[in-house]
Amino acid sequence: MAATKVLVVDDSLTMRALISGALERIPGVEVVGLADGAAEARELVQTLRPHVMTLDVEMPGMSGIEYLAEIMETRPMPVIMFSTRTTDGAADSIEALRLGAIDCLPKPLVAAPAEIDAIIAKLGKRIKAAKTADLKAARSAAATGVAPPLDWNGRVLVVGGDASSTAMLFDLFATFPANGPPTVVVQHLGPGLVEGMVAKLREKVAPKVEVATDGMAIEQGTIYFAPQGEAHLVLDAWPSGRLRLLARDPVAGERPSISLLFAAAAKAAGANAVGLLLIDGSEDGGAGVKAMLGAGGYAFSPAPGGGYVLARGMASQPVARDGLAAMVIKQCSKS
């Protein structure tokens, strides 16, 4: 199998060395070039034809965010961003993910072996996922128009995704009216990014968007994101349910766990639960989808050949990406 070719773009010589060194230790990955900015990267993209790019958010001249927007417009490819660990960096990271980057990782602070090993693990996982990444950036929320009020049927929506799902989440929630279905989200993001995701969504969508807290009532017209930290997020009952944070061990290596949220929704709401899994569920999410279907609920999940599948019990139907938002709203509407 041919190696995955990666181009590393960073204005820091030290960072280029650290990132390329980490990449070269990942089986099946070949670093084909190093660039110190957008101008050099453009030339190398044309000559080297990389499969994946790593890109610094904070570069002099044309920023990484600006260059990412250009890439997604002219030559879409999977891009993994690297950003500083600051509040401003978190806002830039979310914007990069909204534009179509498949992940945004914090820059290493030191060249300590433990930190480099952590970077290698993350990069290896993301490069593997890059082969099937959906590279469409989020559309402008304004372009979708004002959604009509929802004639809600009483179902709760639970959503699972990761950093690569960011553009999809902006697309989805931009179609929700202010009284959209009560929605609970577990999104696997890097440190400090959940708050940035919530802040950016508040600027773009009609429903309220909150970081969940323990005991918070689940209400129509609100989207709740699981906080990062030491707890899983579940709902305890339906209807009139509340969100609960459970300080338990990771499930399938993740905390909060998508599967645990979905399973809790299945137990609490049964046929009144709708699950939307935006990522491959082989590591986290797949078990939750099975639990939801076993309880009589509805579940959307990625189809092997592209797009999505809506299932309930043994029945299923294909759903195109462009029609996903409308189908989700349909499952939560009386009409």
Res. 143: pLDDT tops 70? no
In a domain, 303, yes or no: yes
Buried/exposed code over 280-313 (b: 16+ C-beta within 10 A; e: otherwise) = bbeebbbbbbbbbbebebbbbbbeeeeebebbbe
The torsion angles phi and psi of 239, rounded to 5 degrees, stand at -75, -170
User: Looking at the structure, do residues 125 and 149 belong to the same domain, yes or no?
Assistant: no
**pTM for this model (two decimals):** 0.91
Number of domains in the chain: 2
Please indicate, yes or no, if residue 80 is contained in any of the structural domains. Answer: yes
Residues 245 and 124 in one domain: no
Same domain, 98 and 145: no
CATH code: domain of residue 9: 3.40.50.2300
- Say whether both 153 and 125 belong to one domain: no
Q: Where is average pLDDT lowest: 48-62, 79-93, 300-314?
A: 79-93
Of 96, 130, 164, the position where a domain reaches its end is 130
- DSSP 8-state code for residue 193: H
Which CATH number does the domain housing residue 234 bear?
3.40.50.180
In a domain, 136, yes or no: no
Which band of pLDDT confidence, cut at 50, 70 and 90, is reported for residue 140?
very low
Task: Give a yes or no: residue 169 inside a domain.
Answer: yes
pLDDT digits (tens, 9 = 90+) for 36-69: 999 999 999 999 999 999 999 989 999 999 999 9
Segments forming the whole domain that contains residue 56: 4-130
Residue 45: CA atoms inside 13 Å, Cβ hemisphere, count?
21
Q: Tens of pLDDT along 60-71?
A: 999 999 999 999
Mean pLDDT, rounded, for 145-149: 79
Q: Tens digit of pLDDT for each residue in 107-135?
A: 877 667 787 788 888 888 888 878 777 77
Window from 124-128, 206-210, 220-224, 275-279 with minimum mean pLDDT: 124-128
Indicate whether 177 and 319 sit together in one domain.
yes
